[in-house]
Structure 1
Amino acid sequence: MSERILVLNPGSTSTKAAVYQDDRPLMTHSIVHTNQDLAPYPALNDQLDYRVALVRGWLAQEGFDLSTLSAVVGRGGIIPNIVSGGYLVDDALSDCLLHHTVFDHASNLGGLMARSFAQPLGIPAYIYDAVTSDELLPEARVTGFKEVTRTSFCHVLNARATGHKYAQAMGRSYEDMNLVIAHLGGGISISAHAHGRIIDSVSDDAGPFSPDRGGSLNMLYVVDLCYSGKYTKADMLKKLRGEGGISALLGTHDCQEVERRIQNGDEWAALVYKAQALQIAKGVGIMLGCFTELIDAVILTGGLANSKLLTDMVIGYLHNLCRVVIIPGENEMEALALGTLRILRGEEPVHTFHPVCPLPAR
């Protein structure tokens, strides 16, 4: 039986929508939101009806019959106490998305938008592989600071989708494989996948520097900077995310521009790019230490995996240690659609959200 799935991916400046027929996109659309567009909606949740109406308008313009849908899936938000995979957007999850998320992020609207479409049609609404999905091993949570417990924070959606794609290409099941998957984008995260579970990860503020993130650093240096009197907390947070990494070192986060500079003989740009490749390889090496079994492959994915110059340098560091595979791109819409398709076909279970009671109001 063929399945039609509406996929919704709200971001800070856009809402992406697509309709999939099984694993094939029938139509896709990206709606851009300017600051002026969003100005009438001071709180994130105020944008819900506005974004739903825009997607409805696009579907109506395309003449799409909503009654032909089997399910709707939205991007998973910043939700506490969840694991990877799909969740039914019911009253409990809707309440969490409205009132109890970890922090404000446009993806928190994904499940709410999905339910707005699905409920009148009597079909299920899901989220899938939210970024806060956390299945770390107990020993991976312990740190040397008694006040700090580690949680997983990585590019779950694209990483798991890429793992499924690689396993399928190999004629195997993702759940039967051991993989290290490095998502290379504006932020870089690296995750260890053991038999379908992300058992550990290096988040985008704890591993390699990237186009606009500072990555990890000896903590004594960070403490010195924090107490130097030169920087506010906001300044330091920008160094971690937004104004760090290649952006800080070269004045641009555009890696195509970096490669042009390298081709034109810029030795500093070449050194910075090689340093990024080395840090990616070192981050992979950290994840290799999480396994008690041999791994099947290291996969480089994300937008930066399109850079042959970068991936060749990473492979140069790792090729004697493990098999390295390149599967570029982020593929978020496809990942949401295929995850939902597996649920509809009974190939994966669907989870029900159970909040820790009482959840603190934000």
Structure 2
Amino acid sequence: MTKSVLVLNSGSSSLKYALYNLDKSAKCLLRGVVEGIGTPKSLIFHKNAQDGCNVKLEGINVSNHRIGLNKVWELLHVDRGSSSNICAVGHRVAHGGEALTKPALVTDSVKKAIEEAVPLAPLHNPANLEGIKAAEELIKCPQVAVFDTSFHSTLPPYAYMYALPLTLYKELGLRRYGFHGTSYQFVLDESASLLRKSKDSLNFIICHLGAGASMAAIREGKCIDTTMGVTPLEGLVMATRSGDVDPGVFQILASEKGLSTQEISRLLNKESGLYGLCGDKDMRVVWDAAKAGSEKHKLAVDIFVHRIRKYLGAYLVHLKGKVDALVFTAGIGENSVPIRSMVCQGLDAFGISLDEKKNNQDAKEKREIQSADSKIKVLVVPTDEELCIAQQTLQVLRI
């Protein structure tokens, strides 16, 4: 019987999971999510990827991640006895700090390092750690932690250091870490495969555009710069996150509006970005409203694209113009024809030119969409962070 690896992504009030077999294709067998953990009206959506059979459980009380994982375990057991085949669990962990720069077998020291990184990711790491502990109790097999930040551990000091007093870096670890690492790793491998070249010989600019959005500059298969910082707040405009703002905004909001640091953090993380500009956070809704004539929605789109193009210019300079491909991925990057078109508009002089017919194709596979005379290829590459976690789990265990 084929053995499999379970991937867990524990959020503050959710638990996403996916099950992959261990053959060469690492095919997804099933996936699902527990939502509303800690509330009396939790939901579980469970989908068998092979036969499309869906299960939805509503109105259940899932007070913590341990109970949530027990519910998942029951579903796995019922669904063709999938639970009996699991030989490893891969965990998504947001922040590894400077101590954890590659996927690692979960040990007491690894859990301690994840806990020490909590001040750098207070919304994510505690939930990630709770998911690990719950899985250790329930599933007696090796557990592997895969870190969002590890992909960016190749950043040079001049790219990751802030111009703050050096003591703050030494004492608190304040530096740029970057996120979406599992997505970047997957997309890098897929892009190299599409171009039929070794990733170590390629330079990419990758745009991970979703509710959370970031970009990365890749030189010879290694990340040399990225837009997110010590937290996922820095960089591009996102669904509800502001991205780059003048730090002086903090003092103004505190003195003029009387906001606490917690309230300012909430404003920048939960009430800004597209949502703060126009009242909607789904780019499909924002684009449709802009097209229908809403000025505030059009402004939100323009600001979103402007920030991407600003970093695109910087990364073209960082890579000295030697770019093999500009890559779009994640929800907006993969599906928004107009956003891709706006990002690439008027960049012929920089070697980037779209074939609008290819850009408009309704396709789900990885593909090239540049024009015949474009010096730089333009790729659309669907991401799969759960699959990447499964693959890295196997690499750690050498299965």
Q: TM-score, normalization: structure 1?
A: 0.81
Q: What residue in structure 1 maps to residue 148 of structure 2?
A: 130
Choose which of 235, 238, 245 in structure 2 pairs with 1:207. 235
Question: What's the CA shift for 1:242?
Answer: 0.9
Q: What residue in structure 2 maps to residue 355 of structure 1?
A: none
Q: What residue in structure 2 maps to residue 19 of structure 1?
A: 19
Question: What's the CA shift for 1:111?
Answer: 3.7
Q: C-alpha deviations, 1:284-339, integer Å up to 9, x for none? A: 22233333582222222221212111121012154542536343655221221233
Give the secondary-structure state (helix, strand or coil) at the position aligned to 1:215: coil
Task: Specify whether residues 207 and 65 from structure 1 end up closer, same or farther in structure 2 by C-alpha distance, changes over 3 A only.
Answer: closer
Choose which of 183, 187, 194 in structure 2 pairs with 1:162. 187
Q: C-alpha deviations, 1:81-121, integer Å up to 9, x for none? A: 24554211122113344576333522333443554455x34
Task: Specify whether residues 256 and 200 from structure 1 end up closer, same or farther in structure 2 by C-alpha distance, changes over 3 A only.
Answer: same
Task: Specify whether residues 84 and 193 from structure 1 end up closer, same or farther in structure 2 by C-alpha distance, changes over 3 A only.
Answer: farther
Q: What residue in structure 1 maps to residue 160 of structure 2?
A: 141
Aligned partners of 2:191 and 2:379 also within 8 Å: no
Choose which of 27, 33, 41 in structure 1 pairs with 2:36. 33
Give the length in aligned residue pairs: 337
The amino acid that maps onto 2:154 is E
Task: Specify whether residues 84 and 325 from structure 1 end up closer, same or farther in structure 2 by C-alpha distance, changes over 3 A only.
Answer: farther
Aligned-partner Cα distance in 2 for 1:327–1:114: 35
Aligned-partner Cα distance in 1 for 2:255–2:377: 41
Task: Specify whether residues 89 and 329 from structure 1 end up closer, same or farther in structure 2 by C-alpha distance, changes over 3 A only.
Answer: same
Give the secondary-structure state (helix, strand or coil) at the position aligned to 1:107: helix
The amino acid that maps onto 1:69 is I
- 1:299 matched to 2:308? The reply is no
Q: What residue in structure 2 maps to residue 8 of structure 1?
A: 8
Aligned-partner Cα distance in 2 for 1:108–1:152: 19
Question: What's the CA shift for 1:182?
Answer: 1.9
Give the secondary-structure state (helix, strand or coil) at the position aligned to 2:318: coil
Q: Which runs of 5+ in 1 are unaligned?
A: 40-45, 347-362
Aligned partners of 2:73 and 2:83 also within 8 Å: no
Any residues of structure 2 matched to 1:273-292 within 5 Å, and which?
Answer: 273-291=301-319
Q: What residue in structure 1 maps to residue 48 of structure 2?
A: none
Task: Specify whether residues 114 and 237 from structure 1 end up closer, same or farther in structure 2 by C-alpha distance, changes over 3 A only.
Answer: same
Aligned partners of 1:52 and 1:116 also within 8 Å: no
Q: Which moved more, 1:96-105 or 1:60-69?
A: 96-105
Q: Which runs of 5+ in 2 are unaligned?
A: 43-62, 170-174, 353-375
Aligned-partner Cα distance in 2 for 1:325–1:47: 44
- 1:81 matched to 2:98? The reply is yes
Aligned partners of 1:8 and 1:74 also within 8 Å: yes
Task: Specify whether residues 249 and 264 from structure 1 end up closer, same or farther in structure 2 by C-alpha distance, changes over 3 A only.
Answer: same
Any residues of structure 2 matched to 1:194-273 within 5 Å, and which?
Answer: 194-203=219-228, 204-220=232-248, 223-273=251-301
Q: What residue in structure 2 maps to residue 47 of structure 1?
A: 64
Give the secondary-structure state (helix, strand or coil) at the position aligned to 2:270: coil
Aligned partners of 1:77 and 1:97 also within 8 Å: no
Q: What residue in structure 1 maps to residue 45 of structure 2?
A: none
Runs of 4+ in 1 over 6 A off after TM superposition: none
Task: Give me the CA root mean square deviation.
Answer: 3.0
Q: Identity, % of aligned pairs?
A: 23
Q: What residue in structure 1 maps to residue 199 of structure 2?
A: 174
